[in-house]
C-alpha cells in the first residue's frame, strides 16, 4: 500500500468528529500501520467521502444527485479497467412506484477469471439512498454514508485489487440502484442477468460496512448455505476485526433475520447462494446524521479487507465446496 494512502486514512481516523471513530481508531491504525493490506485505504475513504457528499443530495434514484453518483461510478469503473458487460457499464431498468415509471441504472464491471471464466461470483453493493426527506433536527439531507456509500466504496476498492490480481472465477462487480425502493435494481439484475443465471455460483453483498462501536462485522447466509461456513470461519480466525456469523434465521426474532433485508435477498429468492456482510443498526441508520464524519476509517478499511479475504478464500477453494 502506498504511504500516502495510509497517511490519508490515519489523518481522517484521528480527525473525524465521531465520538467513536476518532482518537481510538487513530491509535489502532497507528499500532497496525505496517500490517499488510490489499485495500488502498486512501482510495477507499475517498470513495465514501465523494458518494456521501452533500452534492450527491442523498442519491435517491432518478434524482440529479443520483445521476452525479452514476457519473462517478462510470468514471471509476473506467479508471479501474473493469470490462463492460453487454457493451456498457450502465444497465438501465424501469419500475413502477407511486403511479409513475422510474428509471434506475445498475453498474456492472467484470474481471475475467483465469481458471473457470464461465463461472461467476457477483460482488454487490447498492449506491442509492433516501435523498432529501423529512427533516430531523433541522436537517433534511440523508447523506447515507454508511448506507451505503461505505459498501459502494468497498466494491470499487475490491474491484481495483482484483483487476490487478485476477481470480480463478470471473468476478462481476455490480453497483445496484433502487435498493431503498424494494431491491429494485437487484431484482432486475436477477430477472435478466447479463450472464447465464445458472453460471452464477455466489453473491457477496455489502451494505453498511463503515462503522461499528464493537469492531464487529457480521456474515449472514451460512444458515441457508452451510457449505460457506468453513470459508467464513477460516477468514474470521485471521481477520483484523471481529467477524461474526449470524442474522440469517428468524430466531430469536424475525427482525434479526437479514436474509431479505438487502440486495442479496433477490439472489436468495432465485436460489443463488449469498453471503452478506454488514453491521448491526446504529443510531444514525436512515437518519440525516448518517454522514461521512461518523464513519470509522480503521474499522471500515479492515472490514473491506476482510470481505476481500473471503472472496479470495472462496475463489481459491471453489465456490461450491
Task: Supply the pLDDT for residue 272.
Answer: 98
| Strand ranges inside the chain, DSSP E | 83-84, 90-97, 100-111, 116-126, 131-136, 139-142, 169-176, 200-206, 216-220, 242-245, 274-278
Residue 17's contacts (CB-CB under 8 Å, 6 or more residues apart) are: 293
Task: Supply the pLDDT for residue 251.
Answer: 83
**Residue 31: is its pLDDT beyond 60?**
no
Average predicted confidence (pLDDT) for the chain:
90
Q: Which residues of 242-266 are buried (b: 16+ CB within 10 A; e: fewer)?
A: ebebebbeeeeeeeebbbebbbbbb
Give the DSSP per-residue string, 42-104: HHHHHHHHHHTSGGGGGG-TTSHHHHHHHHHHHHHHHHHTPEEBTTBSEEEEEEEETTEEEEE
**Residue 269: is its pLDDT beyond 50?**
yes
Higher-confidence position of 18 and 196: 196
For the residues 165-188, what does the mean pLDDT come to? 98
**Residue 35: is its pLDDT beyond 90?**
no
Give the bridge partners for 92, in sequence order: 105
Task: Supply the pLDDT for residue 321.
Answer: 47
The three cell numbers locating residue 59: 442519491
Task: Supply the pLDDT for residue 310.
Answer: 98
Task: Supply the pLDDT for residue 41.
Answer: 97
Higher-confidence position of 28 and 162: 162
**Residue 20: is its pLDDT beyond 80?**
no
Q: How far apart are CA 274 and CA 159, in angstroms?
A: 18
Percent of the chain with pLDDT over 90: 84
pLDDT band at 30 (very low <50, low <70, confident <90, very high): very low
pLDDT in tens, 132-160: 999 999 999 999 999 999 999 999 999 99
Percent of the chain with pLDDT over 70: 88
pLDDT in tens, 207-265: 999 999 999 999 999 999 999 999 999 999 999 999 999 999 988 888 899 999 999 99
**Residue 318: is its pLDDT beyond 70?**
no
Higher-confidence position of 63 and 35: 63
Q: How far apart are CA 143 and CA 85, in angstroms?
A: 30
Higher-confidence position of 10 and 41: 41
Q: How far apart are CA 120 and CA 203, in angstroms?
A: 9
State how far the alpha carbon of 58 is from the alpha carbons of 133, 156, 162, 310, in Å. 9, 19, 29, 30
Cis peptide before 178 (omega within 30 of 0): no
Task: Supply the pLDDT for residue 238.
Answer: 97
pLDDT in tens, 103-143: 999 999 999 999 999 999 999 999 999 999 999 999 999 99
Task: Supply the pLDDT for residue 252.
Answer: 81
Q: Of 36-50, 246-260, 281-295, 296-310, give the lowest mean pLDDT range.
A: 246-260
Q: How far apart are CA 106 and CA 96, in angstroms?
A: 16
State how far the alpha carbon of 24 is from the alpha carbons of 40, 217, 242, in Å. 21, 18, 16
**Residue 90: is its pLDDT beyond 90?**
yes
**Residue 194: is its pLDDT beyond 50?**
yes
Q: How far apart are CA 69 and CA 107, in angstroms?
A: 11
Q: Of 18-32, 246-260, 297-311, give the lowest mean pLDDT range.
A: 18-32
Residue 305's contacts (CB-CB under 8 Å, 6 or more residues apart) are: 37, 38, 39, 240
Amino acid at each position: 500500500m502506498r504511504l500516502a494512502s495510509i497517511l490519508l486514512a490515519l489523518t481522517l481516523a484521528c480527525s473525524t468528529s465521531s465520538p467513536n471513530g476518532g482518537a481510538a481508531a487513530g491509535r489502532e491504525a497507528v499500532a497496525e500501520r505496517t500490517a499488510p493490506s490489499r485495500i488502498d485505504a486512501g482510495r477507499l475513504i475517498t470513495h465514501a467521502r465523494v458518494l456521501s457528499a452533500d452534492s450527491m443530495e442523498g442519491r435517491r434514484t432518478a434524482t440529479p444527485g443520483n445521476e452525479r453518483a452514476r457519473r462517478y461510478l462510470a468514471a471509476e469503473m473506467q479508471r479501474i479497467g473493469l470490462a463492460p458487460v453487454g457493451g456498457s457499464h450502465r444497465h438501465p431498468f424501469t419500475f413502477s412506484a407511486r403511479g409513475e415509471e422510474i428509471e434506475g441504472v445498475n453498474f456492472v464491471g467484470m474481471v475475467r477469471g483465469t481458471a473457470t471464466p464461465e463461472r461467476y461470483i457477483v460482488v454487490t453493493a447498492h449506491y442509492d439512498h433516501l435523498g432529501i426527506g423529512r427533516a430531523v433536527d433541522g436537517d433534511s439531507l440523508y447523506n447515507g454514508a454508511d448506507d451505503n456509500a461505505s459498501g459502494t466504496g468497498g466494491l470499487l476498492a475490491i474491484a481495483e485489487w482484483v483487476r490487478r490480481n485476477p481470480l480463478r472465477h470471473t468476478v462481476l462487480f455490480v453497483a445496484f440502484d433502487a435498493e431503498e425502493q424494494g431491491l429494485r435494481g437487484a431484482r432486475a439484475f436477477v430477472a435478466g442477468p447479463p450472464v447465464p443465471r445458472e453460471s452464477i455460483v455466489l453473491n457477496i453483498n455489502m451494505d453498511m460496512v463503515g462503522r461499528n462501536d464493537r469492531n464487529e462485522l457480521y456474515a449472514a447466509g451460512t444458515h441457508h448455505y452451510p457449505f460457506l461456513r468453513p470459508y467464513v470461519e477460516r477468514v474470521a480466525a485471521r481477520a483484523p476485526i471481529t467477524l461474526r456469523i449470524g442474522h440469517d434465521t428468524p430466531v430469536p426474532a424475525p427482525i434479526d433475520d437479514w436474509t431479505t433485508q438487502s440486495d442479496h435477498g433477490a439472489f436468495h429468492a432465485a436460489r443463488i447462494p449469498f453471503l452478506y456482510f454488514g453491521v448491526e443498526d446504529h443510531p444514525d441508520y436512515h437518519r440525516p446524521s448518517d454522514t461521512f464524519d461518523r464513519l470509522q476509517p480503521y474499522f471500515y478499511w479492515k472490514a473491506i479487507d476482510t470481505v476481500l479475504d473471503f472472496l479470495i478464500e472462496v475463489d481459491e477453494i471453489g465456490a461450491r465446496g
